[in-house]
Structure 1
Amino acid sequence: MNEISAPQTKPGRSDEGLKSLTKVARILDCFSTTHRALSLADICARTGYPRSTTHRLLAAMREVGFVEQDRERDSYRLGLRLFELGNIVLANLELNREGRTIVDSLQRLTGRAVHLAVFDGLRAVVIQRTEVEGSSDRLVENSPAYCTSVGKAILAFQPEETVTRVIEAGLERFTETTITEPGALREELHATRERGFAIDNGEHQPGLRCLGAPIRNQTGAVFAAISVSAPAWQLPMSEVDELNKVVIYHANLISQRLGFQR
């Protein structure tokens, strides 16, 4: 009697698809607000992928609108399809909805630029900002978690494995005051937890001082932060003790709106 064998699956094909998706994500990560347009050679250098592989992936990404190509300069930039998808994410993000009025309120009260950011597991993603003039900006931007006040306010309350992952990803120096030693960063995060807010003394942008406070979700986990910032000469350390209370108060307001109860 002949046995009927089960259909053969092809795990290799699904594995290849997952690898390609991972490579696409890595290519997207090459772009930032400071690196808006990149050549094929730039992307190859940043990802370490062969030129043929990178060109094939970029062609597929261009077809679906993830990147656009400037043929005259042979450069690529992020496509509008990502902007459309990002707007959908923001519209569905409860933090974005609940935080909007509080961000505006904090800006009016302090007269400082305000940023609202959420943690993506490695970086602080700024989803709202209100500048000194009072204009709201929904430009989404990734900020390092280890050298910004919103980032440190979040990172200080993360488990050790998350802190280790951020450190292993690299502590790039942006200014003379950027913390680049793992031990020093852990001490800074401990101090942040103790005082309840984070300070960025020109660690990401020279001459800029920022104060950030953590935001908790319904379960009490810190997943976001809000900050105020100004040139250091406009925000002397003598004002930090009073201003941090205002920032913490507004962070707590957002946490409460998200369902957190002390």
Structure 2
Amino acid sequence: MAESDLTNSISIGTTQADPPSPGKSARGSEDNLKSLVKLVRVLECFTTSSRALTLAEICAKTAIPRSTTHRLLASLREVGFLEQDRERDRYRLGLKLFELGNTALANFDLSHVARPMVEGLRRVSGHAVHLAVFDGYRAVVVHRADPSPEFSAAGTSTFIENTPAHCTSVGKAILAWQPEDVVQNVIARGLERFTDTTLDTEEKLRAELEIIRLRGYSIDEAEHQPGIRCIGAPVRNQNGDVFAGLSITGPAWQLTAEKVPELSKVVIYHADQISRSLGFTSA
């Protein structure tokens, strides 16, 4: 099946017939849009902690009827967006998405512009560095530099990974400067609890975002992963809008609370350098 035919294959209740009337054409476009939205909801079920899911689990996460979900999964599998294991009871993201992600990343100016600053922050801080962009709900990590020699020979890696915006330093560094409606949308989708320190209520999150705006950087105090501390800072485009974030990550015993004030200055400096490279000039 050609990928351009994907939405047609999942549109419920549509058939090939004579050229549709304007009214039918509009309804068809609306049906296709609804199908695409459902496709995205299915794909968003998969995370680094939920790599393989059953049909029942996907239905529970999306609230889409079982029969419709089954047809969506079949179409996604046919074009390579999903894969099914040998027992045929679990689904995983397919390699086609990896290929498309790499293509998008290769054409993404931020990744190229920021690479020297990401690598420089890795060398100066001695910690793993993450560069992420905001998709409206989550922070999407598009570049990582890791100080561990076993990670890779060069110490850097380019990949795509979604991370929660409400409980990671890179996510909160972005979220703190978003418009009110965006913050509210993130809250409305639910503040999932990952650890005992996760900011899982609106009151806690809003108070934290206010602190971040005042001091200029964010901290993740083991809110997403136990024993991990992170420091993040916002990255701005040429218009001054915060659309990305930069962070360093390390074990709490190594990246201690006493080191945060000095390291935050280093993170902010490198984030500002990326912003300037993108055309931003501070007032």
Q: Same fold (TM over 0.5)?
A: yes
Secondary structure of the 2:238 match is: coil
- Partner residue in 2 for 1:9: 23
Q: CA deviation at 1:207?
A: 1.1
Q: CA deviation at 1:48?
A: 1.5
Secondary structure of the 2:166 match is: coil
Q: CA deviation at 1:63?
A: 1.5
Moved over 3 A (4+): none
- Partner residue in 2 for 1:60: 75
**Which residue, 2, 20, 27 being the options, matches 2:42?**
27
**Which residue, 82, 96, 119 being the options, matches 1:81?**
96
Whole-Å Cα distance in 2 between the matches of residues 62 and 175 of structure 1? 34
Structure 1 residue ranges without an equivalent (≥5): 1-6
TM-score, normalised via structure 2 length? 0.88
- Partner residue in 2 for 1:38: 53
TM-score, normalised via structure 1 length? 0.94
Whole-Å Cα distance in 2 between the matches of residues 8 and 127 of structure 1? 42
Structure 2 residue ranges without an equivalent (≥5): 1-20, 150-154
Whole-Å Cα distance in 2 between the matches of residues 170 and 45 of structure 1? 15
Identity of aligned residues (%): 59
Render the CA deviation track for 1:15-68: whole Å, top value 9, x for unaligned.
Answer: 111111111100000111111111112211211122211111111111211111
Q: CA deviation at 1:175?
A: 0.8
Give the AA of the match of 1:9.
G
Secondary structure of the 1:254 match is: helix
- How many pairs does the alignment contain? 256
- Partner residue in 1 for 2:179: 159
Render the CA deviation track for 1:192-227: whole Å, top value 9, x for unaligned.
Answer: 011000011111111111000100001000000100
Whole-Å Cα distance in 1 between the matches of residues 114 and 242 of structure 2? 15
- Partner residue in 2 for 1:182: 202
Q: CA deviation at 1:9?
A: 3.3
1:114-153 equivalence runs, <5 A: 114-133=129-148, 135-153=155-173
Superposed CA RMSD: 1.2
- 8 Å contact kept, 2:102–2:159: no
- Partner residue in 2 for 1:108: 123
- Partner residue in 2 for 1:209: 229
Q: Which of 164-173 and 128-137 deviates more?
A: 128-137
- Partner residue in 2 for 1:94: 109
Q: CA deviation at 1:73?
A: 4.2
- 8 Å contact kept, 2:82–2:91: yes
Give the AA of the match of 1:119.
F
Q: CA deviation at 1:236?
A: 1.5
Whole-Å Cα distance in 2 between the matches of residues 106 and 100 of structure 1? 10
Q: CA deviation at 1:239?
A: 1.0
- Partner residue in 1 for 2:15: none
- Partner residue in 1 for 2:17: none
Whole-Å Cα distance in 2 between the matches of residues 114 and 140 of structure 1? 14
Whole-Å Cα distance in 1 between the matches of residues 182 and 22 of structure 2? 39
Q: CA deviation at 1:14?
A: 1.4
Give the AA of the match of 1:231.
P
Secondary structure of the 2:23 match is: coil
2:94 is equivalent to residue 50 of structure 1:
no
